[in-house]
Structure 1
Amino acid sequence: METNLVTLLRTHATQKPQSPCLTFGTETLSFGDVDARASRVARALAASDIQSGDRVAIVARNTSVHFELFFGCAKSGVIFVPINWRLSAREIADIVADASPSLLFIEDEFQTLLSLDMPHQARTLLSHYPTWRDSAPPDDADHTPSPNCPLLLLYTSGTTGTPKGVVLSHGNLSYLARMAHELWDMSNHSVNLVASPLFHIGGIGYAMTCMSQGGHTVLMQQVVPRDIVAAIRDQKVTHGFFVPTVIQMLLDLPEVAEIDLSSLNRIAYGAAPIGEAVLKRAIEIFGCGFMHTYGMTETAGTVVMLAPEEHEPDGPYANRLRSCGRPMPWNELMLVNPATENPVAVGEVGEIRIRSKANMLGYWNKPEETARAITADGWLRTGDAAYRDEDGFIYLHDRYKDMIVSGAENIYPTEIENVLYQHPDVTQVAVIGVPHERWGETPKAFVVVRNGRHPSESELIAFTRAQLAHYKCPTSVAFVTQLPMNASGKILKKEMRNPEWLKENACP
């Protein structure tokens, strides 16, 4: 297995220079094209006196430029920093101040960022990028980075606090190639659709799977359901990754059952809970294998997977649809009681700890945070609560910090959410703990209903009481038009605690 992505690109560019590598809009770049453009970027970086270890950042919607910069930085030993364009100007400025890039490309629409008070660096509009790139020759700089050379700096989604910069090396990211080949049935004949934002590991990291195999990547600028199904049909897409909310949007298209989606081999999903009813319908409509993936930026993506053959909605192991699967062969996983640091028994809830060569190098400029996240013997503390069954399948409960303590009982919101997802009128749900005079906290459910149907609060509470202990059930329900989510599809539960958010999003 190659331990750097530069060698992978060079190999494909040499062996199959005319084969399609990347389609974006009306333009398709071959592996030879991407390699040549990356070499120009590397030469242009050198001409700008940007050296190994420096950072180059971009604030832009998905574009093929991301990949040219990514591989160009890889050829130079430079660290690539794609930044979330959906953040506020102040949040972007904070990230730029932390990463301190030597060069920052900004999509023209966001040109107000040029005047922000940020540390000195060269800033240029994305429309000037082609001229900058083409000012340099396409000669390969012939730099081969080591496995430990940092390549990617991704800022976490910030669902629970200030975003932290996760540093990923060539060696960390090389496991995406192994995953694609050994577990995801990807080859040089695969066509992979990427719709997730490239500032997220589920975007740029996922894109590296098919690219690493010499396959064809179809990049979408953003999630537009009709454009996605059209791309699957027209480009004969074989693979895709979607968060559950996007899968729901695709299923809601009236014409989806009539479109030819027979090219699909498998669809991966993750990043947020999915209702079993939604998953069953998706399996029926798309007619391909489905994979549940669990991972995080700090693990360079997926570390646990529920394989297609383990998706049996009506089989003897249908309960496994609630699990996220089993660890991939190169990852170690244990469940630990964070209070005692002792492993928990089968069936008991503990914090997921991961030890893997795919684990991040650390948090950028935050040695204390890194030390808190990674133990001395290499275990990453994920903060996620789960239990393991006798067959080794992992069942997520929740983030430990989202756990509700009601009286003396611990309540995991995901357990309540999974039950409410089974109600036919519920399309989305999230549960948080709210203050209670007697019990300290009590669960409150935020619900998005399906197609305007509107069950009552008492009906939904009674629905949960038929399946859960009463102390676990919500004592109140808020009906909302949407749930607050970040770009990676994760629900921002901290926003739900804001009365102004609820006022703006409450159902009329």
Structure 2
Amino acid sequence: MSFNLAIMLQESVTAAPSAPMLYMGDATITYREVDDRSRRVATALRDRGLQPGDKVAVQVPNVPEFVYAYFGILRAGLTMVPLNPLFTAREMAYHLDDSDTRLLITSVFSLAGAVEGAAEAGVSDVVVVPLGTELPDGSVAFDSLLDAPPFDDLHPTSADDTAVLLYTSGTTGRPKGAELTHYQLYMNCTVAPELFGMSASDVSIGVLPLFHVFGLSSVLNATTRWGASVALLPRFDATAVIDEIERRRATVFAGVPTMYVALAEADATGRDLSTLRAAVSGGASIPGEVIKAVEAKFTGLVVLEGYGLSETASTTTFNVSATERKVLSIGKPVWGVEMKVIDDEGNALSAGTDNVGQLLVRGHNIMKGYYKRPDATADALRNGWLHTGDLGYRDDEGYYFVVDRLKDMIVRGGYNVYPREIEEVLYSHPDVVEAAVIGTPDDRLGEEVVAYVAVRDGADLSEADVITFAKEQLAAYKYPRSVVFVAELPKGATGKILKRELRTS
């Protein structure tokens, strides 16, 4: 069976060629225009000697050129390798070499590290989104790709061919490339948005990085699949997001918990944000207090939490509505996806808060495997089940709850301590803006509980105050014994808190 994910764009162009697809600053770009430019990119890439299955790395922020490149790559039967624009030369060299990339599309924002890394990896074909900057020797401007004639064909890729080689964050070693297929990505952006009634009339805010699976699948792919529109923002700023919601009459926002924290704190006085109807949270567990604060600020808005990984092309479970959701739950598996909880011996666990184990997932949303890593693939995929490395449980109604990452669990004096539970308590303090809990080595207990906290401006909060507050709400073995105050917690490009940096600080 042949199936190419770029058919989504082709179908939406056929349905409404003049409909707006992208908003960027003052510009409005229609579906017809995106389709034409992506077809030209496809021709240009094939004319440069690339063959179906070859890898093209895209290291570009949330700008229209990312979208043109993405659908051009797919249409030509190539595989996209999305990369973080903040990568250093060393990181670029690793990813380009490991992925066997043939051509790199980068931008002026990443130029120095990109060119050096490409040279080290032996990638000589470099395309740059220039913005008036002088191009490095041997590179070409992205706009020159648009001079090629439109690619008339849609390459007949197999449904199981790799569309996107998406690298994991590398929290448990060097990053691995998860092979996401055309069919897998199609099903994800079809099934999940149906749950909150996405349609061509919706306008999404595209501030999640498109090089990340959440932004790529749940924002760009979903927008294209349903013929909707997306307002692109290259970086997150709460005021800029509010401006764009009001300006574009946006209806859907997808973000990570730290974005919701910032939106809850931002000044929205006098703004008309009444069109915003749905907010999707993922990437990490969102504290209940943050949900309450956001929904109190944005009247009529419902924050729906989901769960997924790079390996599952974004969505695995979802809370479908305000009436059916459970706050703090990641919801139920989406259509066509199975989930279960197992103990350390691999036995399935029954429902109940006492039955915490590793979450396993099986269904149409699972990756083919890790590129060139058969051992890692065999370890992650066993009997069709993806072993997520996340700890959780299921209640009697079939709702799932993530307790923590398996690697983040703290073992203190023989007791299992889940950082998320402590973080929920800390977020409920009126003067705490951000909180993260980790375990540190302890000679007597094995590990000790340490909290990192960012407080509200002007707050007078001491370490003793935080410890006492937590102690009143947690068992004796759980509450933090020390508190580190920081101006802001370290975050990755998506806004996800980086606990690994706290462990090495």
**Could you state the TM-score of these two structures normalised by the residue count of structure 1?**
0.92
CA contact (8 A) 1:105 1:123 kept: yes
The equivalent position to 1:277 in structure 2, one of 289, 303, 325, is: 289
**Deviation of 1:310 (Å):** 4.1
- Determine the structure 1 residue equivalent to 2:30: 30
**Deviation of 1:147 (Å):** 1.2
CA distance in 2: counterparts of 1:62 and 1:108, whole angstroms: 13
**Deviation of 1:278 (Å):** 2.2
CA contact (8 A) 1:433 1:444 kept: yes
- Determine the structure 2 residue equivalent to 1:118: 121
- Determine the structure 2 residue equivalent to 1:190: 202
2:394 aligned with 1:388: yes
2:158 aligned with 1:146: yes
CA distance in 2: counterparts of 1:300 and 1:19, whole angstroms: 27
- Determine the structure 2 residue equivalent to 1:258: 270
Which amino acid in the other structure matches residue 74 of structure 1?
Answer: L
Match of 2:437, SS?
strand
**Deviation of 1:300 (Å):** 0.3
Distance change in 2, residues 1:435/1:142 (3 Å): closer
Which amino acid in the other structure matches residue 204 of structure 1?
Answer: L
Distance change in 2, residues 1:115/1:405 (3 Å): closer
Which amino acid in the other structure matches residue 116 of structure 2?
Answer: S
**Deviation of 1:211 (Å):** 1.5
Describe the superposition over 1:175-213 as per-residue Cα deviations: whole angstroms up to 9, x where unpaired.
233225520211011111110111101111122112101
CA contact (8 A) 2:4 2:155 kept: no
Moved more, 96-105 or 120-129: 120-129
CA distance in 2: counterparts of 1:461 and 1:441, whole angstroms: 17
Match of 2:338, SS?
strand
Moved more, 113-122 or 286-295: 113-122
CA distance in 2: counterparts of 1:32 and 1:247, whole angstroms: 34
Q: Percent identity over the alignment?
A: 36
The equivalent position to 2:468 in structure 1, one of 457, 462, 479, is: 462
- Determine the structure 1 residue equivalent to 2:315: 302
Match of 2:366, SS?
coil
CA contact (8 A) 1:81 1:152 kept: yes
**Deviation of 1:289 (Å):** 2.1
- Determine the structure 1 residue equivalent to 2:435: 429
Describe the superposition over 1:71-98 as per-residue Cα deviations: whole angstroms up to 9, x where unpaired.
1111111001121112222112111111
CA contact (8 A) 1:3 1:174 kept: no
CA distance in 2: counterparts of 1:130 and 1:402, whole angstroms: 42
Match of 1:445, SS?
strand
2:93 aligned with 1:93: yes
Moved more, 127-136 or 405-414: 127-136
Match of 1:472, SS?
coil
2:168 aligned with 1:156: yes
2:146 aligned with 1:134: yes
**Could you state the TM-score of these two structures normalised by the residue count of structure 2?**
0.93
Describe the superposition over 1:233-271 as per-residue Cα deviations: whole angstroms up to 9, x where unpaired.
1111111101121112122222x1421011112011122
**Deviation of 1:358 (Å):** 1.1
Moved more, 3-12 or 164-173: 3-12
The equivalent position to 1:238 in structure 2, one of 248, 251, 254, is: 251
**Deviation of 1:342 (Å):** 0.4
CA distance in 2: counterparts of 1:27 and 1:447, whole angstroms: 40
CA distance in 2: counterparts of 1:417 and 1:432, whole angstroms: 10
Describe the superposition over 1:320-353 as per-residue Cα deviations: whole angstroms up to 9, x where unpaired.
312111111211000011x200011212101010
CA contact (8 A) 2:203 2:229 kept: yes
Task: Structure 2: state its 5+ residue gaps.
Answer: 131-139
Which amino acid in the other structure matches residue 192 of structure 1?
Answer: S
Runs of 4+ with >6 A deviation: none
Describe the superposition over 1:345-393 as per-residue Cα deviations: whole angstroms up to 9, x where unpaired.
2121010100011111111121111111111x21001000001111111
Distance change in 2, residues 1:3/1:355 (3 Å): farther
**Deviation of 1:21 (Å):** 1.1
Match of 2:500, SS?
helix
Distance change in 2, residues 1:136/1:422 (3 Å): same
- Determine the structure 1 residue equivalent to 2:302: 289
Which amino acid in the other structure matches residue 44 of structure 1?
Answer: A
CA contact (8 A) 2:12 2:224 kept: no
Moved more, 237-246 or 23-32: 23-32
CA distance in 2: counterparts of 1:251 and 1:416, whole angstroms: 21
CA distance in 2: counterparts of 1:481 and 1:110, whole angstroms: 27
Describe the superposition over 1:370-429 as per-residue Cα deviations: whole angstroms up to 9, x where unpaired.
111111x21001000001111111111111111111122111111111111111111111
Task: Structure 1: state its 5+ residue gaps.
Answer: 313-319, 502-508
CA contact (8 A) 1:172 1:357 kept: yes
